[in-house]
Structure 1
Amino acid sequence: MPSTTPQTRHKRSRLILPFLAGFLVLSGPVSNAFLPAAHAASAAVTYKLVKQSEMIVTSGVRQLTYSWVASDSKTSEAIHVLQIDLKDPYVELNAMGGPKGSVTGKQSVGAMTKETGAVAGVNGDVFRTGSSTEGVPMGAQITSGQLLVSTEQLTGMYAFGVTKDRQPVIDNFVFTGTVTAADGVTSFPLTGVNKSAYRTEPDKAYSHVNALYIYTNAWTASERPMNSAAKPTEALVVDDVVTEISSQSAIATPIPANGYILRGHGTAASFITGNLNVGDRIGSSYSLTSADGKAYNPADFQMMVSGHTLLMDKGAPAAFTRDINGLSGNADRARTAVGFSKDGATVYLVTAEENGGRKGVTLKKLQQILGELGVWKAVNLDGGGSTTMVSRPLGDFQTQLAHPTSYGTTQRLVTNGIGVYTTAPQGSLKGIVASGAQTLFIGQQSTYALKAYDSYYNPVDAGGLTPSWSIDKQLGAFANGAFQASKPGTATLSVRSGSASDSLKVEIIGEAQIAKLIAEPSSTILKPGAVISVPIKAELTDGRQLSVPASSISWEFRGFTATSKDGKITVGKVQDKTVAGYAIARYDGYGAVVTLASGSEQPLEDFEKVTYPVSFSGTPAATVGTASISTGVPGRETSKVLVMDYEFMMGSGKSYANAVLNDGKGISVGGSPSAMSIDVLGDGGRQWLRAEFTNGDGKPAYATIADQVDWTGWKNIRFDLTAAGLKGSSKLTKLYLVNKEEDQDERALQGQVAFDNLVLQYPPGQIAVSNPTIVMNVGKTQGTVDGKSVKLPGAPFVQKGTSTNYLPLRFVADTLGAQVVWNGPTKRVTVLRGDKMLELWVGKDSMTVNGARQALSAPPIVINGSVYVPVRVISEQLGQKVDWESKTKTITIH
């Protein structure tokens, strides 16, 4: 550890700010502000837990999925539970960790289960990340009865463990230990095992100052601990015998499995050099003491993983034992928790999903959920991007994600987890399983397989079984285990082999389930020969967000001809006088529009002949890095690109790493581009990527290139510039990364990105639309357009029993310069104007606006062959203002 001069203290405090994996830890005393919801007045909105599915993982382990449904909303959050019966003699829980048992190496929960043979698991302890830490668990970790990491001296930090006699325990454990010299009398307190440097609570002291620590071969980082300015004094102990002592420098000898390093600073270093000699036989002992004073030998535990705040105690929500602000505790986020039943016979591993439209839950809501599950005592584990649950589907040999993570299918690397294991012997064949996709889109094909399990619900080889398949509803073509979906709905897929059978619910997504259809084009320039990639996503009414296969999408083109293949459209002929072209992606009749405009592209910069300076700036000053024009970058070996290396520091507030162009004077951007495309070499660091411009009036303007750099390798990105509001003679001054304040530990604090081929996209200007003033009167077929008298196809009217004004859709749409398309079979009317697409259905109380479903106060109706719609719906959604004069019953649209 460094010396305790004020200057050194300040330097080290930057390096060991306490952050959690998933969340920032704000330390300090617990106030009433941290009390859970159960202690406050109940809100008007109520929730209920509704079970959706249940699956056996292995004997004694069930996986359950619930919906957490709010009384005021049709949407719900997804809650996932692994329910473990500790009375089952073949079920075990254990702590999983880094590769080959490393406490300083991280890996995904899926990798942990694969390496250790677990049948299910969740992520575990919180941990610090960044260039100054190793990612060691903040709390204790016991694996198979061996203490790999001791607890930190933190206030209100709880841990979950299972004793050798299969009793679950949740408590606030404190580590105590002693190292005794060869004389059997002289001793020194042992502060911990395999710990990173941190600040203790509540005194904020440096953890390793005047302290003695044990490091084992589970510590695989290059230093003990890393980034320490101190010159440690160390002793290598093998089979309780001191074999090597090094003063003021680390021992280079690898630590054997039957040995450990004693590392000391200050008075602890003096104990080593003054009382230990090579050849001495010394002793070391340590224990974990619970909050009520009970001392445990770590060997009494089968496993232990720490968490954070206590959540449940005696079946009721507990007062939070740590500050939850750093956990985003009052925001909806992904969560992970572990708890057990009152009788100690059942353990619950619980996750709340956060992905797409699903936002997760607050910690107070998590407490309510645990209460409904019947959890007696529970502790919060790492959450946010760390939240992961994997399980082995019945009949499968490998684990897989039980639900999406915050990153989709990507699993974050974490420090440890809780694994579920089976020790059951091979049993006899018990049953078979139909395995395959349970959610499909119309037009999608899936192949289903037969799997089998034994009397302990563990997988067995199904190679000798002959399956016979059937489906109860004709929602598509089914043959030899392959199903091609053609209609929306739910069906039951059945398989039989001999006397054994199984069934699987299959859901085929229909239009009614879609809340939003999202098209993400790579370009919006309308020109012959253009090839535009347009991936489509569907956000469902229950919050799920799914990618729609290209084979399930049909396309309509207006204003131009085009072909579509594999998610890409190729523009053919553009019709004369076309101002805007519309590519409409449809799934089961539900549409999303891509508005294309004829325009041009102009290269802005390819960095091949740069004559201006490029430099780096960081805010705050602790953010460091470099920016330069370089060659030899992977993927661009023969060309020049702009490369930026960056390093952020953990801390409050946002930090910025800027590649500054031309000393901040920037490079000129001609005209008024609507978009820019850029090639970006991503490092997967998940930072926010932006561009800064300066307008002709000298004021800055900003545009987001990517919400997060979540890719590696080169990627072409098109980003919008209209929202930036570029005016006059603007300049591009910076390309920069933002390290946001929240969830900093979920992003890489150092890395490298590169930029190439900046291209500006220019439409012909705003897509021209007419904006006439339309005046109509209820009950009259005579109106005016810009003061000129016109004849209406039908008179506006007020629907009986309501105050809703209806008017003829086509007349208003045509007058506003919109295109109107009627689809008779579905009674759908499509209105295209500018960059907007509205779709309405006769008799339906909802509409879509650019692919997003919205409620209608009243549905469209048909009178004498003409469609009538509520006046404000069509007018205001198309950007017009509507005035109503009640005395004269006059409607003015302008």
Structure 2
Amino acid sequence: MTRHQKPYGVRRTTLTLLTALGTLAGGALAGAAPAGAATWTGVAAGVTYRQYDLSAAAGVTHAHVLSVDLTNTHVRLGLLYPGAVAANATVSTLANGQKAVAGVNGDFFNISEAQHPGVTATGASVGPAIANGAVLKGAVPDAQRFGPELPPGTDTEAVVGVDTTGRARVDRLSLGGTVTVFGRRLTLGGLNQYALPENSIGAFTSAWGRVSRKRAVCGTDTSRAAGCSTGTYEVTVRRGRVVSASATPGGGAIAAGTTVLVGREAGAARLKRLRVGERVSVRYGLNSASSAAYRFALGGYPVLSDGRALPGLDTRVSAVRTAVGIGNGGRRVFLFALDGAAAYRKGLTIAEVAAALKSLGATEGFSLDGGGSTTLVARPSGGTRVTVRNHPSGGTERAVANGVGVFTQ
């Protein structure tokens, strides 16, 4: 399914603001080594790596970059993930397990549940995800996301990915789906998400994993910290018929061909009308703003569009960052990660990240999870397993929800 929406971008009317922002970010990076000054070393056909210092507002930081040439028919990008939406693993484990030659960490994720005692953190990512052309999940409500404040005009449906023509893109993917019961079509409010919109029905498939679905009914459309809903209901559908029901969301593996529907508030009231044996049809897909179809995609938020920083990017908070830059009409991708060693840990602001990506030759830029999650891995020359090239700020690799993998053949 596709539905045309307005993609993220910048308007001509914001040119003055963007020029000023670009000057600020560029000025902060004025002492940086030129993008071409560091030596690129080969990782695999169409894939090179380098590292270099950047002088930024908070001090000198150190960048690690993978350059991926998508015009090379022997190289591709794909989603690194642990085989389930609600699961985590380190980037090196994911890359080695999927035989990637390089990669970086991906989307922000449900890392903790201190606000909901007794509720298990799912480890699931915030935004949409597609792997090998298959839809894995939709985006959680904006107020339920983890990570820094989003830039103005962006939301949790933002993605970076590679379409079926082999071009990298920044886009938006919104969930479109229905639950048909008693001949009536109800809107599907979520797919394999750790948070569902209020009054909605969400679908969970075998892609979710074994983790409890309880977190999906906690928080609200305006507050991640809000309590868990007391109006819930869950039904299990197999081969188009209801086979079981429960007043509370459950857990455990979901068999292939089975869908678990979780309702909260008004959505729960609708599910309560169902009886074992009744027919239910569930259909879903992700609709792209550009109408492109995707081989792989994952969430985060845009920072650069048509070679210009998005308006309103933060210029004050510096941190260790991971980002993706896209150049050459979607045929060149830069995977960018900062070093978390103590000497460099102050990092970059998001405005500085946009400027750094542009200096590499990117016209589109996209921010991924940072801080202790920031990890860049690559195989050494002649090697068969990746090594971590940056220093994760926590001292060791953090287990993450997903990542961007570089694959060769």
Alignment TM-score, normalising by the size of structure 1: 0.38
> How far 1:313 moved relative to its partner?
0.8
Sequence identity percentage? 25
CA RMSD after TM alignment: 2.9
> How far 1:67 moved relative to its partner?
2.6
The aligned counterpart of 2:110 is: 128
Out of 362, 369, 388, the position equivalent to 1:401 is 388
- 1:345-364 to 2 correspondence within 5 Å? 345-359=331-345, 360-364=347-351
**Ranges in structure 2 where 5+ consecutive residues have no aligned partner:** 1-15, 143-152, 219-227
Secondary structure of the residue that 1:378 maps to in structure 2?
A: strand
Which structure shows the bigger proportion of residues in strand conformation? Answer: 1
1:90 aligns with 2:88: no
The aligned counterpart of 1:389 is: 376
CA distance in 1 between partners of 2:51 and 2:378 (Å): 12
What is the CA deviation profile of residues 339-362 of structure 1, one whole-angstrom value per residue up to 9, with x for unaligned ones? Answer: 211421111111122313123222
- 1:57-456 to 2 correspondence within 5 Å? 57-69=43-55, 76-98=60-82, 101-131=83-113, 132=116, 133-154=121-142, 156-157=154-155, 158-181=158-181, 183=183, 186-197=184-195, 207-226=196-215, 228=228, 230=230, 232-239=232-239, 241-250=240-249, 254-274=253-273, 278=277, 280=279, 282-290=281-289, 294-295=290-291, 300-308=293-301, 310-320=302-312, 324=314, 330-359=316-345, 360-408=347-395, 410-422=396-408, 424=409
Secondary structure of the residue that 1:52 maps to in structure 2?
A: coil
CA distance in 2 between partners of 1:253 and 1:393 (Å): 39
Worse-superposed segment, 373-382 or 211-220: 211-220
What is the CA deviation profile of residues 72-111 of structure 1, one whole-angstrom value per residue up to 9, with x for unaligned ones? Answer: 99x843211111111222212111123xx12222111111
> How far 1:135 moved relative to its partner?
2.5
The structure whose RCO (Cα within 8 Å, separation 6+) is larger is 2
Contact 2:321 2:368 in 1 (8 A): yes
Contact 1:49 1:372 in 2 (8 A): no
The aligned counterpart of 2:5 is: none
Contact 1:49 1:369 in 2 (8 A): no
Label 1:221 to 1:230 Cα distance change in 2 as closer, same or farther (>3 A).
Answer: farther
Which structure shows the bigger proportion of residues in helix conformation? Answer: 2
Secondary structure of the residue that 1:111 maps to in structure 2?
A: helix
**Ranges in structure 1 where 5+ consecutive residues have no aligned partner:** 1-31, 198-206, 425-894
What is the CA deviation profile of residues 123-160 of structure 1, one whole-angstrom value per residue up to 9, with x for unaligned ones? Answer: 11112322343222111111111222201232613210
Secondary structure of the residue that 2:95 maps to in structure 1?
A: helix
What is the CA deviation profile of residues 414-461 of structure 1, one whole-angstrom value per residue up to 9, with x for unaligned ones? Answer: 111111111x2xxxxxxxxxxxxxxxxxxxxxxxxxxxxxxxxxxxxx
The aligned counterpart of 1:887 is: none
Alignment TM-score, normalising by the size of structure 2: 0.80
What is the CA deviation profile of residues 374-397 of structure 1, one whole-angstrom value per residue up to 9, with x for unaligned ones? Answer: 101011111111110001011011
> How far 1:404 moved relative to its partner?
1.2
Contact 1:242 1:276 in 2 (8 A): no
Count residues with an aligned counterpart.
362
CA distance in 2 between partners of 1:89 and 1:116 (Å): 19
CA distance in 1 between partners of 2:25 and 2:333 (Å): 30
Contact 2:122 2:211 in 1 (8 A): no
CA distance in 2 between partners of 1:318 and 1:339 (Å): 14
Contact 1:181 1:283 in 2 (8 A): no
CA distance in 2 between partners of 1:333 and 1:288 (Å): 33
AA aligned opposite 2:170: I
Contact 1:134 1:221 in 2 (8 A): no
Contact 1:36 1:319 in 2 (8 A): no
Label 1:279 to 1:407 Cα distance change in 2 as closer, same or farther (>3 A).
Answer: same
Contact 1:353 1:405 in 2 (8 A): yes
Contact 1:140 1:149 in 2 (8 A): yes
Secondary structure of the residue that 1:173 maps to in structure 2?
A: strand
CA distance in 1 between partners of 2:309 and 2:320 (Å): 19
What is the CA deviation profile of residues 794-837 of structure 1, one whole-angstrom value per residue up to 9, with x for unaligned ones? Answer: xxxxxxxxxxxxxxxxxxxxxxxxxxxxxxxxxxxxxxxxxxxx
AA aligned opposite 1:268: G
